[in-house]
């Protein structure tokens, strides 16, 4: 399904008056409103190919209707999101769930939909039906050299798929670890994993990066072989200049100070980027900003401070991606909400008066520092984010447009109710 620009123009003219009033009020109090809007227009968040269908848990999966049944339909859905918010201009593929059958056709479709190919994701956390050896006891860590070899070859295969599509990065998330004390020799598991990652690193084209994604627990529940930012940084430092750490917001132990982790990984120039989502307990993969919006703002506050300290390009020098799963909501509405939450937190971080904040920090004026951050967080920037969307050719209110134009009903009419999207 494609959205006609005229439909968006009609929607925008219907809500323009209300928007203009809100925008005029918002910008009247924001001296750098135009600079913030330009940064928002340039900012894009990649959408995971595995989050366009209904997700589930081990207990149940309540499938939705009109889901994308193949890679082309997944790209169509991301194209639809991008047409509405002009901030979702990239897709991140997961192999083997999304192996293109016709590369030229897929690349042409991406061009037609104004989409780029973001980081590729390997998968050694499942056994594929035609797979010789099992990853039950891990992949790159496995005590069996042949199983490590199989996993290395898979990652190299994923790089080859990515090169054909124009991707520039490989994300390696390993489910490897142990469920019980005594099951694993931690040192050998680390060294097997590092040795294996060195072989994958050696296969990277010169202009590629590898992102080492860490996770505290699940599916292993005693140890994970890439269990936290420190372990991921160890691997990235030992691998070389093309290796970085990837922060998935849901992969931390309860109450971890993620904004501090982000500040230090930025300082070490080893932060690859993000898998944005939100969570209350574990790796819940909930809508971004739906549980801990202040934490998301504090993370972007550290990101803007860190990126400006190094003169980085906000839009292109880090990897911005959502990694969520939708058990009870329409996946496309959920993703629209997540992108909105990211844009709002980024806009607020751009609004922080850093000169005053640095002064308060230097003077240990705790209250002043707190007031600067909390007042910024309590500043409503939704009209600025909407204005950026409008200027970029998007819809002022994507969710309202999506519902008013019965997009899901249209997808069901096109695809029927039984299509299942590959993914989690």
Which residues of this chain interact with ligand LRH, rule CB under 6 A? 50, 121, 173, 213, 215, 248, 275, 283, 323, 424
Nearest approach in angstroms of CB 290 to Mn ion is: 17
CB nearer to ligand LRH: pick between 263 and 424: 424
Binding-site string for Mn ion from residue 345 to residue 384, where x marks contact by CB under 5 A and - marks none: ----------------------------------------
Pair of tokens at residue 78: 């991301």
Could you give the C-alpha distances from 225 to 152, 153, 212, 217, 420, in angstroms and in order? Answer: 16, 20, 11, 10, 32
Pair of tokens at residue 187: 């040192």
Nearest approach in angstroms of CB 98 to Mn ion is: 15
Judged by CB under 5 A, how many residues of this single chain contact Mn ion? Answer: 3
Cα distance between residue 13 and residue 130, in whole Å? 54
Which of 115, 89, 84, 110 is closest to 393 using CA atoms?
A: 84
Nearest approach in angstroms of CB 74 to ligand LRH is: 14
CB nearer to ligand LRH: pick between 148 and 215: 215
Contact (CB, 8 A) for 235 and 215: no
Pair of tokens at residue 214: 């860490």
Q: What are phi and psi of 5, to 5 degrees?
A: -55, -35
Nearest approach in angstroms of CB 27 to ligand LRH is: 37
Q: Between the CA atoms of 192, 195, 198 and 199, what dihedral angle is there, to the nearest 10 degrees?
A: -90
Nearest approach in angstroms of CB 250 to Mn ion is: 7
CB nearer to Mn ion: pick between 98 and 323: 323
Cα distance between residue 148 and residue 140, in whole Å? 5
CB nearer to ligand LRH: pick between 228 and 323: 323
323 binds Mn ion (CB under 5 A): yes
Nearest approach in angstroms of CB 251 to Mn ion is: 7
Cα distance between residue 262 and residue 9, in whole Å? 39
Nearest approach in angstroms of CB 94 to ligand LRH is: 6
- With CB under 5 to 8 Å by kind, the binding choice for 67 among Mn ion, ligand LRH, none is none
CB nearer to ligand LRH: pick between 94 and 389: 94
248 binds Mn ion (CB under 5 A): yes
Element (H, E) at 211: strand 209-213
- With CB under 5 to 8 Å by kind, the binding choice for 424 among Mn ion, ligand LRH, none is ligand LRH
- With CB under 5 to 8 Å by kind, the binding choice for 121 among ligand LRH, Mn ion, none is ligand LRH
CB nearer to Mn ion: pick between 275 and 415: 275
| Binding-site member from 82, 161, 275, 389 for Mn ion (CB under 5 A) | 275
387 binds Mn ion (CB under 5 A): no
DSSP string, 160-188: HHHHHHT--EEEEE---EESSTTS--HHH
- Between helices 186-202 and 145-165, what is the axis angle to 10°? 40
Q: Between the CA atoms of 132, 136, 139 and 144, what dihedral angle is there, to the nearest 10 degrees?
A: -70
278 binds Mn ion (CB under 5 A): no
Nearest approach in angstroms of CB 264 to Mn ion is: 20
285 binds Mn ion (CB under 5 A): no
CB nearer to Mn ion: pick between 270 and 275: 275
Residue 94 is classified by DSSP as B
CB nearer to ligand LRH: pick between 84 and 247: 247
CB nearer to Mn ion: pick between 39 and 94: 94
Cα distance between residue 81 and residue 127, in whole Å? 32
The burial of 4, by beta-carbon neighbours within 10 Å (0-12 exposed, 13-18 middle, 19 or more buried), is given as exposed
Nearest approach in angstroms of CB 304 to ligand LRH is: 24
CB nearer to ligand LRH: pick between 201 and 211: 211
Q: Between the CA atoms of 184, 185, 186 and 189, what dihedral angle is there, to the nearest 10 degrees?
A: -80
252 binds Mn ion (CB under 5 A): no
Nearest approach in angstroms of CB 277 to ligand LRH is: 8
Cα distance between residue 131 and residue 107, in whole Å? 28
Binding residues for Mn ion, rule: CB under 5 A, are 248, 275, 323
């Amino acid at each position: 399904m494609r959205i006609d620009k005229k439909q968006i123009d009609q929607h925008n003219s219907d809500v323009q008056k209300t928007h203009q009033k809100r925008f005029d009020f918002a910008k009247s109090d924001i001296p750098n409103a135009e600079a913030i809007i330009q940064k928002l227009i340039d900012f894009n968040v990649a959408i995971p190919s595995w989050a366009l269908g209904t997700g589930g848990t081990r207990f149940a999966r309540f499938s939705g209707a009109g889901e994308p049944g193949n890679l082309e339909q997944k790209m169509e859905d991301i194209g639809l999101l991008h047409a509405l918010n002009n901030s979702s201009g990239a897709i991140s593929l997961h192999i083997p769930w999304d192996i293109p059958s016709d590369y030229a056709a897929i690349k042409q479709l991406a061009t037609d939909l104004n989409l780029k190919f973001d980081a590729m994701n390997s998968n050694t956390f499942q056994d594929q039906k035609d797979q010789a050896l099992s990853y039950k006891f891990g992949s790159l860590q496995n005590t069996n050299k042949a199983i490590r070899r199989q996993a290395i070859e898979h990652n190299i295969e994923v790089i080859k798929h990515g090169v054909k599509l124009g991707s520039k990065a490989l994300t390696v998330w390993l489910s490897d670890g142990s469920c019980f004390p005594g099951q694993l020799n931690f040192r050998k598991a680390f060294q097997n994993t590092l040795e294996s990652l060195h072989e994958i690193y050696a296969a990277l084209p010169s202009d590629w990066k590898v992102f080492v994604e860490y996770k505290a627990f699940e599916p292993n529940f005693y140890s994970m072989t890439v269990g936290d930012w420190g372990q991921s940084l160890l691997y990235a430092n030992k691998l070389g200049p093309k290796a970085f750490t990837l922060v998935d917001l849901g992969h931390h132990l309860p109450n971890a100070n993620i904004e501090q982790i982000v500040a230090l990984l930025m300082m070490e120039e080893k932060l690859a980027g993000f898998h944005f989502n939100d969570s209350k307990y574990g790796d819940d993969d909930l809508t971004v900003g739906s549980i801990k919006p202040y934490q998301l703002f504090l993370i972007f506050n550290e990101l803007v401070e860190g990126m400006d300290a190094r003169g980085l390009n906000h839009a292109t020098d880090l990897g911005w991606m959502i990694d969520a799963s939708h058990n009870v909501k329409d996946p496309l509405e959920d993703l629209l909400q997540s992108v909105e939450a990211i844009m709002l937190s980024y806009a607020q971080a751009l609004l922080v008066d850093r000169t005053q904040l640095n002064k308060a920090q230097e003077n240990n004026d705790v209250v002043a520092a707190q007031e600067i951050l909390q007042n910024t967080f309590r500043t409503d920037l939704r009209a600025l984010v909407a204005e950026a969307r409008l200027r970029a050719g998007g819809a002022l209110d994507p969710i309202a447009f999506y519902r008013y134009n019965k997009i899901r009903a249209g997808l069901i009419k096109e695809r029927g109710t039984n299509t299942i999207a590959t993914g989690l």
